[in-house]
Structure formats: structure tokens, C-alpha cells
Amino acid sequence: MTELLAVSSQQRIGLAVVLVMLVSWVLFLLSASKRTYEPGIELTAAPNRKVYYDDEGMEGKRLTKYLWWAFGSLAISAIVLPVIWVREPFRQEGAGLDRGKEYFHEEAVKRGEWYFEASPGDPPTPREPHYGCENCHGKKGVGGVAQYTLTDPSKPDAIPQQVQWVAPPLNTVMLRFRHDEVKFILTYGRAGTPMPPWGIAGGGALNDQQLEDLIAYLEHIKLDPKEVKEANLKEYGTDGQKLFEAFCARCHTQGASYGQPSVQGGGALGPDLTGGATLRQFPTVEQHVSWVTETVEVGKQYGQRGIASGRMPFFGDMLTPEQIKAIVEYERSL
């Protein structure tokens, strides 16, 4: 019930107008039903039957008076309108267009946070839905796990396997992907993983505005790249294999996301990197390093025969150049 009563002031004004109109109609109909009409009454009652001014009366003082009124109101508009427009730029400056943008951005972040959360926060926000990203990705996107049921298409009779699939941290996702790439992931999800599609085009429930709000929130919780790099250097050092397992295996090694890695670098969402594949794709180490550091935009070429799909993250804001070199060396040995 409180949800139904939680209306905005515009809605309240609208309801008041509707109420006044309804009441007026009822009063009018009641009074109309009581009116009696005797034959001949229209001769005195109807305005169009009354004798009006003659020509002299209409074109004399009366006309002049109305013309002066018209001239007066025209003069007021002619003078006041330019004065308003002269002031307009100062008014906009005063209102602060930039501040306006900031305001809209803050609102978008707030909505994005609501969508991200698992349940109505405190105070509850009953008018905004919650989509529970944090159920899998952790509170404020620190990362988490998702339950997932694996089925093997080659063994349809086998019992499906329950696994815990790592859901990557999202407080660094805007350090790894471009805006449009994140939007693509949100729209279509990741087929074959627990990440469901959210955008309408992917079969989800969220419209464009809601996806943008979520991205505004992801941008808001984004960590400082300097601190991320320091923390990653402390945790993983410059061991190429350790770094690969931490940052690359979940896409390039089948099963790595749920603790059952098969051939290291053998390919999953990302292509197979073994058997000298990266040596053929990137004849020089510099090309390889550049791809891992910054990738390229969707549709652009990389390496010898690569065309970027926007699904491979870049690591220049997450790892130091030494760490990236170490991973590249490791990959070239696979």
C-alpha cells in the first residue's frame, strides 16, 4: 500500500486536476438537470438573441480602447522577451550546465547501484528494481562465484555437474574494457557461462538507459589503476605463468573458471594460444605486447590475421610493462 501511495509531486498535481475536473462535471450535470426551459425563454436568455451595439458603438471609443490594450500587451512582449533572452546566457552559466551534467551523472550512478544490488537497500527503494549483479560479482563488484550446472552434449545421459564458476571482479572492468565492449557484454551476457544476457537485444529485460546506468555505476566503483597495478605486482610479481593463470586462463584455458583447467592456453572463449599460435599471429614481441597492453577497437586488425571482436580485455591499466612482458614470454613458449 505504501508503494501505491509513494507518488511524485507531479502525479499529485495531476490527480488534483483530474479530481477538480470530475467534481466540476458532476456539479454542472446536477445543475443542468435542474434547469427548466419554458418556450420563448431564449429570446432573453440566449446571448445571440440580445440586441448588440450598433456600428457607431462598436467602432468608436470601444474599438480604440481594445486596440490600445492590444498595443500595450504587444509592447510588453516586445520589450520583455529580448530582456529575458539577453539574460539567458548568464542564467545558464549560473545554473551551471556542467553542474547539470554532474547531477544527471550522479542520478545515473544511483540508479545503476540499485540495479546492481541484490535487494532493496536501506532505506528501501521500492520503485527501482534490483537485478542482483552482486549475488555473483560480490558487493561493490569485488568479485565472487556463481553456481553453474555443466552439461556434456556428447554424454546426454550423464548426470549434470554442479560447479562454482568464478565471477570476475567488476571494480576493475572499466580498466580492462572500453565502454561499448562492456555494453556488449551486458547486452548479450556470456553464452556458455553463468553470466546471463541483460539487454533487450540479448533477450534480457534492461533497456538502453538501464544498461548505461549500470555502466555509470561500474565507472563509479572503478579502482585507481595505480593502486591496482601496485597490488597486482605485490601479489603476482613477474612470474609469467602465475600471471597467466590469474588474468588470462579464465578465457584461454577450458575449465579454468571452475577449477578444472584442461590444456593451459588451449582455448575457450579466447583462441588457442598453444603450439606456436602466438608466434605466427605476432611475428614480433612488440606486436604481441601491444595487443595485450591495449588491444584494438572492434573490427580493427591485430597481428597477422586477427580481427578484434571487443571481447579480449586490455591490461595496460592492470599490470606493469614488466608483468605484461613476462606473460608474453610465457605465452610464446606454450
Contact call for residue 311 and ligand HEC (CB under 6 A) = yes
| CA within 13 Å, CB half, 186 | 29
Nearer to ligand HEC (CB atom), residue 41 or residue 118: 118
Per-residue contact string for residues 78-97; x = within reach of ligand HEC by CB under 6 A: --------------------
Q: How far apart are CA 92 and CA 7, in angstroms?
A: 30
Residues 137, 183, 229, 325: which binds ligand HEC (CB under 6 A)?
A: 137
Query: Closest Cα partner for 206 from 133, 101, 126, 311?
Result: 133
Grid coordinates standing for 302? 591485430
309 binds ligand HEC (CB under 6 A): yes
CB 246 within 8 A of CB 168: no
Please report whether residue 121 would count as binding ligand HEC according to CB under 6 A: no
Q: Which residues contact 272 (CB under 8 A, 6 or more apart)?
A: 252, 265, 266
CA Rg value for the chain? 34
Q: Which stretch binds ligand HEC (CB under 6 A): 29-37, 57-65, 78-86, 270-278?
A: 270-278
Pattern of binders to ligand HEC over 146-175, x per CB under 6 A?
x------------------x-xx-x--x--
Determine the residue type at 229.
K
Stretch that binds ligand HEC, among 65-73, 88-96, 99-107, 179-187 (CB under 6 A): 179-187
Stretch 205-244: interaction string toward ligand HEC, x if CB under 6 A? ---------x------------------------------
φ and ψ at residue 222, rounded to 5 degrees: -60, 135
**Beta carbon nearer to ligand HEC, 50 or 305:** 305
Q: Minimum Å distance from CB 194 to ligand HEC?
A: 4
CA atoms within a 13 Å half-sphere pointing along the CA-CB vector of 122:
0
Alpha-carbon span 21 to 27, nearest angstrom: 10
C-alpha span between 255 and 244 (Å, rounded): 14
What residues make contact with ligand HEC under the rule CB under 6 A?
A: 131-133, 135-137, 146, 165, 167-168, 170, 173, 176, 182, 185-186, 190, 193-195, 198, 214, 247-248, 250-252, 257, 269-271, 273, 277-278, 281, 291-292, 303, 306, 308-309, 311-313, 315, 327, 331
